[in-house]
Chain A
Amino acid sequence: MHENKDNMESILTLHPQGKTGRKISKDKYNSIKKALLEVLKGKALTHNELFEALNKKLEGKFDGNINWYGETLKLDLEARKIIERTNDKPQKYKLT
């Protein structure tokens, strides 16, 4: 999961509560970010719905654990105020 190869650019992700982030390759960061933004475009999804949609979108097209990268990137995008949680019950995620 730690792609620290010299020739690979990586990004240290952020966490909404300032907890430790994870270093991941820029390519993977961008792929997951793009997919998350697409599945959330114009709608709010619960955690389970979001990950179902993300898996459906990326299955067979992403080299890595979609759920792990998705969770890490979701938190990063929350920290960057690109995604937010709603006060609905159940709680949902949407674009800011």
Chain B
Amino acid sequence: MINEGFINAGKGKTWYEIVGKEGNTPIVTIHGGPAYPHDYLEPFEDLSNDRQIIFYDQLGCGNSEWIADKSTFTLEYYTEELTNLIKHLGLGKYIILGQSWGTAIGANFASTNPKGLASLILADPFLSTPLWVKDIHRIIEALPKKFQEKLKQPPESDQYKEAIGEFYTKYLYGMKELPTAVLKSEHKMNSEQYKYMYGEDEFNPDGPLAKMDITHKLEKINVPTILLCGRFDQTTPELTEYFTTLIPNSKMRIFENSAHFPFWTERDECMKVIREFIKEAN
């Protein structure tokens, strides 16, 4: 059963979709990017056998309204958007599942101790750009010199494009053939918004998000939390371990054969881990 609709969360129309029938505590998913819409989160529909899974596209990308007002592209606005969506849907009790940039929104929201939040799932957490960039450079420094040289070329050069493609295959997707749902997100992504918020160079961001760091808020999260990451994740296991120590009632799980998308590359195991966590947390 699929229901979809729009809410006006302040600055434009935000699209949402509800998959599954009412049952156990629903899960609200938050996509990454920024501006990389929900489609690639499709594997989480596997959890809809006994509960509703809610997907939405953040304002400015995917099925939501593409707006020109850049002042909206902030962590604060997207946290407010999430708050409004939960209110609009009338969710009394719910679980938040953020992925990558979506974890910043989810954790920022959770740090305010919102009513009804039962537990938090942070997949491939992106909670501090400075720490994330530092770790990315640590990964790059361990790669062959020839590869490093290519990544130092301008982003529009063929050498850079070739190297970034290889980097993404290993540390982002963790797979060579991209599933249709991931390609949909690629296609519906708002690249201009991404470049504005993060920057053009993946390894040296210069947009407003370059300084984002919510690690000081993590100790305020008071619900059971699980952090997930792949062994070859751009969000490294080392960084995920550190984030785990900052969230009081948390645990983490590493997927040994995955990068930033363990929910695709180790789908069954990932869903099993989430189901067990939800059961344990409740």
Q: Which of A51, A67, A74, A91 contacts B250 (CB 8 A)?
A: A67
Expressed in whole angstroms, the minimum distance between the Cβ of A3 and any Cβ of chain B is 11
Specify which chain B residues have a CB less than 8 angstroms from the CB of A17 in the assembled complex: 238, 242
| Residues from 67 to 126 in B contacting A, C-beta threshold 8 Å | none
Of all chain B residues, the one with the shortest Cβ separation from A17 is B238
Contact assessment for B245 and A65 in the assembled complex, using a CB-CB cutoff below 8 Å: no
Chain B nearest CB, measured from A28 CB (Å) = 13
Q: Which residues of B contact A57 (CB under 8 A)?
A: none
| Contact B238 A65, beta carbon cutoff 8 Å | no
Could you say which residues of chain B place their CB within 8 Å of the CB of A46?
Answer: 254, 256
B244 touches A71 (CB 8 A): yes
Write out the residue numbers on chain A whose beta carbons fall within 8 Å of the beta carbon of B237.
Answer: 47
B253 at the interface (CB under 8 A from A): yes
Contacts of A19 in B (CB 8 A): 242
A60 close to chain B: CB less than 8 A: no
Shortest beta-carbon distance from B258 to chain A in Å: 11
Decide if B213 is an interface residue (CB 8 Å cutoff): no
Using known A-B contacts A46-B256, A48-B253, determine if residue A90 contacts B231 with beta carbons closer than 8 Å: yes
Which one of B231, B242, B249, B254 contacts A68 once the chains associate, using CB atoms below 8 Å?
B249
Decide if A47 touches B244 in the complex (CB within 8 Å). no
Range of interface residues on B (Cβ < 8 Å): 10 to 19
Residues in B with CB closer than 8 Å to A72 are: 245
Q: Does B47 contact A (CB under 8 A)?
A: no
B248 interfacial by beta-carbon distance below 8 Å: yes
A2 vs B238: C-alpha distance when bound (angstroms):
23
Q: What is the bound-complex CA distance between A13 and B248, given in angstroms?
A: 14
**C-alpha spacing A29/B76, complex, angstroms:** 37
Question: A22 on the interface (CB 8 Å rule)?
Answer: yes
CB-based contact B251/A68 at 8 Å: yes
What are the interface flags for A55-69 relative to B under an 8 Å C-beta threshold, 1 for contact and 0 otherwise? 000000000010110
Closest to B226 in A: A67
Give the docked Cα–Cα distance between A46 and B252 (Å): 13
- Nearest-CB residue, chain B, relative to A16: B238
0/1 interface trace, chain A 23-57, chain B, CB 8 Å (1 if under): 00000000000000000000000111001000000
A residues near B247, Cβ cutoff 8 Å? 68
Q: Are B254 and A48 in contact (CB under 8 A)?
A: yes
A1 within 8 A of B: yes
The CA of A48 and the CA of B247, in the complex, are separated in Å by: 19
Q: Is the CB of B256 within 8 A of A68?
A: no
Q: Give the distance in Å from the alpha carbon of A71 to the alpha carbon of B246 in the complex.
A: 11
A22 with B250: CB separation less than 8 A: no
A68 touching B238, Cβ below 8 Å: no
B241 contacts the other chain (CB 8 A) = yes
B252:A71 contact, CB within 8 angstroms:
yes
A47-B237, A48-B253 given; A91·B231 CB < 8 A: yes
Residue on B nearest A67 in the bound complex, by CB? B251
Contact of B254 with A65 in the complex, beta carbons under 8 Å: no
- Bound form: Cα–Cα A48–B269 in Å: 12
**Cβ of A65: which chain B residues have Cβ within 8 Å of it?**
248-251
Q: Which of A51, A68, A90 has the most CB of B within 10 A?
A: A68
Partner of B241 from A13, A48, A75 at Cβ < 8 Å: A75
What are 11 A-B contacts defined by CB distance under 8 Å? A1-B248, A19-B242, A22-B245, A47-B254, A48-B253, A48-B254, A65-B249, A68-B251, A71-B252, A75-B245, A90-B231
Where the two chains meet, the residues of B that have a C-beta atom closer than 8 Å to any C-beta of A are 219, 231, 237-238, 241-242, 244-254, 256
